[in-house]
Structure 1
Amino acid sequence: MALPFFLRKGLVVANHAVNGRSSKSFVDEGRLDAILDLIRPGDFLLVQFAHNDEKSEDPTRYTEPWTTYQEYLRLYIEGARAHGARPVLATPVERRRFDADGNAVPTHGEYPAAMRALAGRERVPLLDIEALSLALWQRLGVEETKVYFNWTATEQDNTHFNPPGAIAVARLVARELLRTRVLARRDVVRLHDEIPTSWITWPEATDTPAA
Structure 2
Amino acid sequence: MVATQFLYALGLATTALGAPHVEKRAQTVWLAGDSTMAKASGTQQGWGVYLPYSLSLPVTNNAIGGRSARSFTVEGRFQTIIDSVKANDIVIIEFGHNDGGSLNGQDNGRTACPGAGDETCQSTYNGQAVTVLTYPKYLTNAGKALVAKGAKVIISSPTPNNPWEGGSFSYAPGRFTTYSRDVAKAIGANAIFVDHGQYTANIFQTLGKAKVDAFFPNDHTHTSPAGADVVQRAFVKGLLCQGGGFLNGFIKNSTASVEGKCI
Fold match, TM over 0.5?
yes
- Equivalent residue of 2:154, what SS? strand
Cα distance in 2 between the residues matched to 1:148 and 1:28 = 32
Cα distance in 1 between the residues matched to 2:235 and 2:102 = 28
CA contact (8 A) 1:104 1:137 kept: no
CA contact (8 A) 2:94 2:155 kept: yes
CA contact (8 A) 1:22 1:51 kept: yes
Residues 1:19 and 2:65 are matched in the alignment: yes
Structure with larger RCO (C-alpha < 8 A, sep 6+): 1
Residues 1:160 and 2:208 are matched in the alignment: no
Cα distance in 1 between the residues matched to 2:193 and 2:171 = 21
Aligned partner letter, 2:251: V
Identity %: 28
Partner residue, 2:182: 117
Partner residue, 1:146: 213
Partner residue, 1:198: none
Partner residue, 1:72: 138
Cα distance in 2 between the residues matched to 1:160 and 1:98 = 14
Residues 1:39 and 2:85 are matched in the alignment: yes
Q: Deviations over 1:161-204 (max 9, x none)?
A: 111111111111222233332222x41114538xxxxxxxxxxx
Cα distance in 2 between the residues matched to 1:182 and 1:104 = 31
CA contact (8 A) 1:93 1:133 kept: yes
Partner residue, 1:203: none
- Equivalent residue of 1:159, what SS? coil
1:65, CA displacement in angstroms? 5.1
Q: State how 1:1-211 maps to structure 2 within 5 Å.
A: 1-8=49-56, 11-56=57-102, 58-63=107-112, 64=114, 66-67=116-117, 68-98=134-164, 102-106=168-172, 109-123=174-188, 124-149=191-216, 151=217, 156-180=218-242, 181-184=245-248, 186-190=249-253, 192=257
Cα distance in 2 between the residues matched to 1:128 and 1:74 = 17
Cα distance in 1 between the residues matched to 2:50 and 2:101 = 27
Q: Deviations over 1:84-142 (max 9, x none)?
A: 11111000010103475612223x63111121122234332111101111222222232
Cα distance in 1 between the residues matched to 2:165 and 2:219 = 17
User: How many residue pairs get matched?
Assistant: 184
CA contact (8 A) 2:156 2:195 kept: yes
1:74, CA displacement in angstroms? 0.6
CA contact (8 A) 2:199 2:237 kept: no
- TM-score, length-scaled by structure 2: 0.64
CA contact (8 A) 2:152 2:246 kept: no
Aligned partner letter, 2:137: E
- TM-score, length-scaled by structure 1: 0.79
Gaps of 5+ in 2: 1-48, 118-133, 259-263
CA RMSD of the aligned region, Å? Answer: 2.1
Gaps of 5+ in 1: 194-211
